[in-house]
Structure 1
Amino acid sequence: MSQVERNSKVQKLVEYQKFNEEEVSKMTDPQVEYYHWLYFDDSAYDYM
């Protein structure tokens, strides 16, 4: 994941107030992607 992409995802997680900046800074790239997917990515099943 690029640094720009990571920064964007980290910012969304912090703004969503699920994590503070210190917690997110300790996460690996896969963890950041997982939590971003968990809270922000829509699924087709969300609309059924």
Structure 2
Amino acid sequence: MNWRICCESVFDLLQQAHNPVNWFPWSEHRFVIATCDNKPIFLSIWSANY
């Protein structure tokens, strides 16, 4: 279970907590780390209509 996603309050994110993804919340710091490590960023943009 991804402990970072489990700390979120958005129901749609919590539904994905058991997926094998190294998930991080949005931050400029994550982009710096990915750039330094030469790793790609997979950005998922979605919206829920309630």
Length-normalised TM-score, structure 1: 0.29
Length-normalised TM-score, structure 2: 0.28
Structure index of larger Rg: 2
Structure with bigger helix share is 1
Higher relative contact order (CA 8 A, sep 6+): 1
